[in-house]
Structure formats: C-alpha cells, structure tokens
Amino acid sequence: MYYSIDAAGSGVTPTICSTISVKYKAQLTNGNIVDQATTPVSIQLGGLIESWKKAIPLIKAGGKIRIYSPPRLAYGSEDVKDGSGNVVIPGNSILIFEVELVGVS
C-alpha cells in the first residue's frame, strides 16, 4: 500500500472501533470512477477494507489522504459486481482512493 497525506487534519484520530464520516472517491488506475460520496457518509472503520483500516488512522478529523491499494488490501482477485451483475471492479484491481475524513466518533 502507498499513501499520500494531503492534509493531516487537527481533530480526533480514528481507531479501528471508530465510526468515521467521510467523503471519498474510488477509481481504477485507468481513471474510471467506481464509487464516490460527495456528501459525508458514516461508516464503522473496522468494517472496511484493509487499506482503509491501515491508512485512515494516519490522519485526524479534517484530514485528507490518497490511498493506493493493491488487490490483497482491497477486493482481491474476484470481480465486484453491481446489483445488475455488471462488473464494477475487475478482480486484481489496484484502487486509488481520495478520502476526506470529515468526522470521528
């Protein structure tokens, strides 16, 4: 996993048990956006993919990080499909996440 901290933040540092509020964009290395949240969504950090569990605690609330996630720390070798059966994330994909940590509770 590689990461780049764009802003360290100055609020609370999340732990694996934290509920985080984030805005994010997930894209493939070819630039195709596979998921995004432009308004904050709240999620339990412990229930997310491994690269997020490792990278998000490196910043504090108000921070921004870019995560380059290899397949073994993301979705692995299996295709990820939407509700209609279309492949959204091909197996063995490297993903790039741009994450803004809005809040921690």
pLDDT number for residue 13? 97
pLDDT number for residue 2? 98
Which pTM was predicted?
A: 0.95
CB 46 within 8 A of CB 53: yes
| DSSP string computed for 33-69 | EEEEEEEEEEEEGGGS-HHHHHHGGGS-TT-EEEEEE
Per-residue pLDDT in tens (0 to 9) along the chain, 105 residues: 999 999 999 999 999 999 999 999 999 999 999 999 999 999 999 999 999 999 999 999 999 999 999 999 999 999 999 999 999 999 999 999 999 999 999
DSSP 73: G
CB 2 within 8 A of CB 69: no
**Out of 2.40.50.100, 3.40.50.1370, 3.10.50.40, 3.90.1570.10, which CATH number does the structure's domain 2-81+88-104 have?**
3.10.50.40
pLDDT number for residue 90? 97
DSSP 13: P
CB 51 within 8 A of CB 73: yes
